[in-house]
Amino acid sequence: MKKDGFSLLEAMIAAGIVAIGLTAAASLVGALMAKEEINSVSLRAANLQEQAVVLYRLGLAPARIREILPENVSGTVTPAAGTYGLSFGSSAAVSCTASDGSTFAVTATPCTLAYPITAPDGSVLSHRSNSVTIVMPATVWPVP
């Protein structure tokens, strides 16, 4: 007996396999979109922190830096949705020795930027932070 088509059972099994594949693909797209949003926020935060470090090295006070940065920045450790928390620690003098044996002094200041990761509805899911140490010559001319 010659068969010209698929049986109903074969068609149902094929449809089930295709449905499982489509469901997996849709789930993957959702996860990738969420990860892309987190990466975008993290990159924006790293850029903001880099700008803050440059301004600090130019001699601006932390309060003034928070005022002039292009994002909504406060001094809080756990900022609300849509804001960033920027804090500077106490500067410490560090004595260094160059390869030729001469010594020089630098100051080391910790800088921490905290930012929220939000859900699509705007609620805060978690907070992330990044800390860097700003190293600069001990003698700096202050900027008003």
Indicate whether 77 pLDDT > 60. yes
Name the strand (E) or helix (H) holding 115: strand 103-118
Q: Which run of H or E residues covers position 70?
A: none
Phi-psi region of 101 (alpha: psi -120 to 50; beta: other; left: phi over 0): left
Interatomic CA distance for residues 139 and 94, integer angstroms: 12
Residue at 16 is within a domain = yes
What range does the domain containing 47 cover? 8-137
Domain count along the chain = 1
Asked whether residue 2 is domain-assigned, the answer is no
How high is the pLDDT of residue 2? 63
Q: Does residue 143 form part of some domain? A: no
Average pLDDT over residues 115-132: 88
Please report the pLDDT score of residue 138 as a whole number.
Answer: 75
Residue 1 in domain: no
**Per-residue pLDDT at 84 exceeds 90:** yes
Residues 6+ apart with CB under 8 A from 93: 105, 106, 107, 138
In a domain, 75, yes or no: yes
d(CA 108, CA 117) in angstroms, rounded, equals 29
